[in-house]
């Protein structure tokens, strides 16, 4: 049966009818079908306009249906879309050169893939082959993907019920300044002591086969947690002392979202392997693994194999080149810094107005807002987060709440870099109203 926006008896019945053949894969679906999207907005089949404060799946950094992306897809799909994996094309060569040029030395070798999980899979596989070891260290609230090695290094959710993961995966505490587990004399997070203790435990559990540390510069699914300045330099030193490679997963933070081209720039570190995804394709399936010439050469000499169907596809590589065109021309790093300041000030104003807003954190246009039932105890507010999310959508704002027990009151706010100040103001106004109504 085919329904239109005008013949459905009710939205609930429409949703039930259309979902009956779908596999549910986590969370719940939004209550209305989306018909189209443009810029910072998605439009439902019923004609409602909804402001998208998540850039799709945290990916559409240039907004939806950006005219230059549309033109690139139309042109490229008509000339060269997909090739045998061993064939190269000009868009792939050009994008690899541009990614390398945007990064500090020695990051210069690029492998183009499709998703974040796939790029992390390829990075971990490379690290294991190059080091000859197999143990992988990650944050206890990490999210790196749903495939084998990526899922084994993901601790924020999804571990129960699927049987054993590959041996050698070790979690270390997340350096959460809002909820410090190890405190210094002033009551704040003593991250140096926490990191020392973490690697004492890593060393105790290791069989002497530590290959790599795979972490996000800002943990998004873990609650928009940004480790303190200096943390990653100290973490890199821990890795060097043990002969481990440092892999940074910049799926959500890469390509200007945080106000710099890459989030790791703040800390003055350079990873051994960098993974990119989401933002690289601006909503299309494009990811990358970037590493040094030395690591790539060693991996190649040892027979590195990551032969997948859509490796180095020309269609999405052409899109990646257009993404770089727009980011460079429009100075999107500077724009994200400015708009991030506007957004943050608006969120801080909401914190001043609403007692349930416990914390505001993040960088650039990746901000987190955490709701609590009590500011003193910092008790999480999962039910309130769910209600505010529902109210926002009904009022015309799509928000994304962290889907973790005890973290359901934490919003991940990541509007497109192309957003206007007026659109940010509209989102803040709707969120303000939703908070007021949900707590009335």
- Which of 329, 356, 379 is the last residue before a domain boundary? 329
Task: For residues 231 and 367, state if they share a domain.
Answer: no
**Mean pLDDT across 7-31:** 71
Question: Is residue 133 in some structural domain?
Answer: yes
Task: For residues 279 and 306, state if they share a domain.
Answer: yes
Task: For residues 312 and 338, state if they share a domain.
Answer: no
The residues, any chain, with a CB within 8 Å of residue 291's CB and separated by 6 or more, are: 107, 109, 123, 126, 272, 273, 274
Whether residue 7 has pLDDT greater than 70: no
> What is the torsion angle, in degrees rounded to the nearest 10, for the CA atoms of residue 260, residue 119, residue 22 and residue 158?
-90
Q: Count CB atoms within 10 A of the CB of residue 338.
A: 14
Task: For residues 129 and 249, state if they share a domain.
Answer: yes
- Which of 278, 309, 329 is the last residue before a domain boundary? 329
Task: For residues 169 and 207, state if they share a domain.
Answer: yes
Contact 234, 267 (CB under 8 A): no
Whether residue 2 has pLDDT greater than 70: no
Listed as own residue / partner, the contacts of 370-377 with beta carbons closer than 8 Å and 24 or more positions apart are: 370/178, 370/223, 370/409, 370/410, 370/411, 371/409, 371/410, 371/411, 372/409
Whether residue 90 has pLDDT greater than 80: yes
Per the prediction, the chain carries an average pLDDT of: 94
Task: For residues 228 and 303, state if they share a domain.
Answer: yes
Tokens of 185: 């004399």
pLDDT given at position 20: 85
Contact 289, 119 (CB under 8 A): yes
Task: For residues 102 and 150, state if they share a domain.
Answer: yes
pLDDT given at position 231: 98
Question: Is residue 49 in some structural domain?
Answer: yes
Residues 276-295 have pLDDT tens digits of 999 999 999 999 999 999 99
In this structure, the strands spanning 410-413 and 366-374 are antiparallel
Question: Is residue 346 in some structural domain?
Answer: yes
Whether residue 403 has pLDDT greater than 70: no
Task: For residues 128 and 221, state if they share a domain.
Answer: yes
Q: Please report which confidence band the pLDDT of residue 9 belongs to, taking 50, 70 and 90 as the band edges.
A: very low
Whether residue 15 has pLDDT greater than 90: no
Residues 46-85 have pLDDT tens digits of 999 999 999 999 999 999 999 999 999 999 999 999 999 9
Q: Range with the lowest mean pLDDT among 4-18, 65-79, 294-308, 338-352?
A: 4-18
Tokens of 114: 């499709």
pTM of the model: 0.95
Contact 119, 113 (CB under 8 A): yes
| CA 197/CA 38 separation, integer angstroms | 48
Residue 339 CA from chain centroid, whole number: 19
Question: Is residue 285 in some structural domain?
Answer: yes
Known catalytic residues are 143, 216, 249, 252, 278, 412
Whether residue 296 has pLDDT greater than 80: yes
> What is the torsion angle, in degrees rounded to the nearest 10, for the CA atoms of residue 226, residue 227, residue 232 and residue 237?
-160
Question: Is residue 2 in some structural domain?
Answer: no
Tokens of 404: 């973790």
pLDDT given at position 402: 79
pLDDT given at position 27: 78
Q: Count CB atoms within 10 A of the CB of residue 34.
A: 15
Question: Is residue 138 in some structural domain?
Answer: yes
Task: Name the residue range of residue 310's domain.
Answer: 70-329
Task: For residues 301 and 391, state if they share a domain.
Answer: no
Task: For residues 179 and 117, state if they share a domain.
Answer: yes
CATH number of the domain encompassing residue 288? 3.40.640.10
The residues, any chain, with a CB within 8 Å of residue 103's CB and separated by 6 or more, are: 262, 274, 290
Question: Is residue 6 in some structural domain?
Answer: no
| CA 5/CA 3 separation, integer angstroms | 7
CATH number of the domain encompassing residue 353? 3.90.1150.10
| CA 151/CA 252 separation, integer angstroms | 17
Task: For residues 94 and 131, state if they share a domain.
Answer: yes
Q: Range with the lowest mean pLDDT among 9-23, 124-138, 157-171?
A: 9-23
Query: How many structural domains does the chain have?
Result: 2
Task: For residues 80 and 221, state if they share a domain.
Answer: yes
Residues 354-395 have pLDDT tens digits of 999 999 999 999 999 999 999 999 999 999 999 999 999 999
Residues 206-219 have pLDDT tens digits of 999 999 999 999 99
Residues 165-179 have pLDDT tens digits of 999 999 999 999 999
Question: Is residue 3 in some structural domain?
Answer: no
């Amino acid at each position: 049966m085919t329904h239109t926006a005008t013949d459905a008896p009710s939205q609930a019945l429409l949703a039930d009818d259309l979902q009956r053949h779908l596999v549910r894969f986590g969370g719940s679906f939004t209550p209305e079908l989306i018909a189209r999207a443009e810029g910072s907005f998605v439009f439902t089949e019923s004609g409602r306009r909804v402001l998208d404060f998540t850039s799709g799946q945290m990916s559409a950094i240039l907004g939806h249906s950006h005219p230059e992306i549309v033109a690139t897809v139309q042109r490229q799909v008509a000339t060269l879309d997909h090739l045998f994996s061993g064939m190269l094309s000009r868009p792939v060569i050009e994008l690899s050169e541009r990614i390398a040029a945007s990064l500090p030395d020695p990051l210069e070798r690029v492998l183009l893939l499709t998703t974040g999980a796939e790029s992390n899979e390829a990075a971990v596989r490379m690290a294991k082959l190059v080091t000859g070891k197999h143990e992988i260290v990650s944050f206890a609230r990490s999210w790196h993907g749903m495939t084998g090695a990526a899922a084994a290094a993901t601790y924020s959710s999804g571990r129960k019920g699927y049987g054993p993961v590959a041996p050698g995966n070790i979690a270390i505490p997340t350096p959460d300044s809002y909820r410090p587990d190890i405190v210094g004399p002033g009551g704040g997070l003593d991250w140096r002591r926490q990191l020392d203790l973490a690697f004492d435990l890593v060393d105790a559990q290791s069989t002497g086969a530590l290959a790599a540390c795979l972490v996000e510069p800002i943990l998004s699914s873990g609650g928009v947690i940004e480790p303190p300045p200096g943390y990653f330099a100290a973490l890199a030193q821990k890795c060097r002392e043990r002969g481990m490679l440092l892999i940074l997963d910049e799926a959500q933070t890469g390509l200007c979202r945080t106000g710099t081209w890459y989030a790791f720039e703040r800390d003055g570190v350079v990873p051994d392997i960098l993974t990119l995804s989401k933002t690289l394709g601006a909503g299309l399936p494009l990811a990358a693994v970037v590493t040094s010439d030395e690591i790539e050469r060693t991996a190649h000499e040892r027979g590195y194999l990551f032969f997948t169907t859509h490796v180095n596809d020309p269609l999405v590589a052409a899109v990646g080149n257009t993404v770089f065109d727009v980011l460079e021309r429009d100075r999107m790093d500077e724009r994200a810094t400015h708009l991030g300041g506007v957004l943050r000030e608006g969120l801080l104003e909401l914190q001043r107005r609403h007692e349930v807003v416990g914390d505001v954190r993040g960088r650039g246009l990746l901000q987190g807002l955490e709701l609590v039932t009590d500011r003193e105890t910092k008790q999480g507010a999962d039910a309130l987060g769910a209600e505010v999310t529902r109210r926002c959508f009904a009022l015309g704002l799509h928000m994304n709440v962290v889907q973790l027990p005890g973290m359901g009151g934490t919003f991940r706010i990541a509007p497109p870099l192309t957003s206007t100040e007026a659109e940010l103001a509209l989102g803040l106004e709707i969120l303000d109203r939703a908070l007021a109504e949900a707590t009335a």
